[in-house]
Amino acid sequence: MSFNVREQKQPNRQSLYALDCLNFFLADVRTGVGPFLVTYLLAVHHWNPAEIGVVMAVMGIANLLADTPCGALVDFVKKKRLLIVTAALLMGVSCVFITIFPTFYFISAAQIVNGVVSALFAPAVAAITLGLVGRQTFAIRIGRNEVFNHAGNVATALLAGIVGYLMGQEWIFYLVAIIGVASAVCVLFIKNDDIDYLRSRGGTLKISPDGVVALGIRAVFSDRKILIFAVAVTLFHFANAAMLPLAGQLLTRDHEVFASLNMSACIVAAQLIMIPVAFLSGKWGNKWGRKPVFLIGFAILPIRGLLYILSDNPFYIVSVQLLDGIGAGIFGVLSVVVVADLTQGTGRYNLVLGAIATAHSIGASLSNVVSGYIVNAWGFITGFVFLASVAALAFAIFGLMMPETKALPPISAEALLEETTKNAV
């Protein structure tokens, strides 16, 4: 057997600019029509809340079940661009068909499609990015990706509001379809030859003549560092997911007339903060290490939860929500980078990224259910204190048990060959 280290290939500038555009346009295509579907079905077709809740839950469940398999698919498929083109076009077609066939069963089916294809976007974009730039500048590049992603979120939210108001709510679905086509076009401007397949899946070694490039799945998921990170991610999103909905309920309870305006202000304010935070997170994480910067994101969350209990004034709530821009901005960048650190050399980067997304989804789903029961039984203050406590636990686990990952060495060629021989999949 011979073992050769992969050489770094510099990507074409066109490919890097196309990646910027892809992240901008893909920002809202990733999640489909989201909350706009709720208002559309309620205002235009007069669905009852139970039916709306079911079709919204269907997408979340489909996305949860698809996250890990889609990560494995991204590892396996060499033509990463084709995955994004297919997913974006499927999302666009399903959004258009929702306006043509607004029946319960058809929309449920469309939501299943949307949930599955949306699970492809994050690992596919991360894989293309890693394949383009390599690990050395990956943190900085992911920070740039997130800057364009958050800018796209703000632009699309504002544009969707204007389009829905002037042309009717069904045009929001057509807008998402158009943006999906734009995403598909953008990814095709990334030169396929610039994307190193082995590097894009976290493989840094070429093994010949057998072509073995991936560590066994059992060996990957028995890594203690990956398991600790998955637990910290689950607890973080368990604490985080319900905070904004609970804050929205506070705003609606005491300021019903301006509820939608206040909620929009919370969302846009956080997204605007995420733009500079994402940029700085990538640079600082690359310079100082992942852990010290990541700990800031973990520490912000319990502070935010406790601050919510001090006042229900709309201006105060929006101000506290700015902290979400810091925490989520850091998390969006460094979670992707830490997984790349943990899986370098294994060839299983996107599989583990999908598994971490599953942990994210589980935490977020449980958050809304559990916090809803707690608030209903003991009130908002207890609910926010509970979420802040979970956030503090996530901070403690990450701070005390998670090592710095920037300097972790890749798995050796000999270890890779030994493990793949024992646990070939």
**Topology of the domain comprising 1-200:** Growth Hormone; Chain: A; (1.20.1250)
Is residue 356 scored above 90 in pLDDT? yes
Per-residue pLDDT, 205: 56
> What would the pLDDT profile of 230-282 be if each residue is shown by its tens digit?
999 999 999 998 887 787 777 666 655 555 566 667 677 777 888 899 999 98
How far is the C-alpha of 222 from the C-alpha of 202, rounded, in Å? Answer: 17
pLDDT one-digit tens code per residue, 272-315: 888 899 999 989 988 899 999 999 999 999 999 999 889 878 78
Opening angle at CA 27, ends 394 and 288, nearest 5: 45
Element at 207 (helix H, strand E): strand 205-208
Report the predicted TM-score, pTM, of the whole model to 2 decimal places: 0.84
Q: Is the peptide bond before 209 cis (omega within 30 degrees of 0)?
A: yes
Q: Is the pLDDT of residue 208 over 50?
A: no
**pLDDT value, residue 424:** 47
Q: Please say whether the structural domain 207-425 has been given the CATH code 3.20.20.70.
A: no
pLDDT-derived band at 34, boundaries 50, 70, 90 = low
Chain position carrying tokens 């079911």: 54
Q: Is the dihedral of CA 187, 192, 196, 201 positive or negative?
A: positive
Segment among 30-34, 115-119, 380-384 with least mean pLDDT: 30-34
DSSP lists the bridge partners of residue 206 as 4
Comparing 250 with 340, the larger pLDDT belongs to 340
State which of 153-167, 290-304, 346-360 shows the largest mean pLDDT: 290-304
C-alpha dist (Å) from residue 57 to 35, 38, 52, 282: 12, 11, 9, 33
Going from N- to C-terminal start, the domains of the chain cover 1-200, 207-425
Token digits of residue 379: 């009130």
Q: Which helix (H) or strand (E) holds 112?
A: helix 104-133
Kindly tell me if the per-residue pLDDT of 73 is higher than 90.
yes
Question: Could you give the angle at the alpha carbon of 364 between the alpha carbons of 359 and 366, nearest 5°?
Answer: 95
Strands 205-208 and 2-5: antiparallel
CB distance 313 to 251 below 8 Å = no
pLDDT category, 211, cuts 50, 70, 90? low
Say whether 207-425 and 1-200 share the same fold: yes
Give the mean pLDDT of 387-408.
93
Decide: helix, strand or coil at residue 203: coil
Q: Is the pLDDT of residue 319 over 80?
A: yes
Kindly report which listed range (99-108, 158-167, 302-311, 329-338) carries the lowest average pLDDT score.
158-167
Token pair 């319990």 in the structure block, residue? 302
Per DSSP, helices labelled H in 189-216 are 197-200
Average pLDDT over residues 327-344: 91
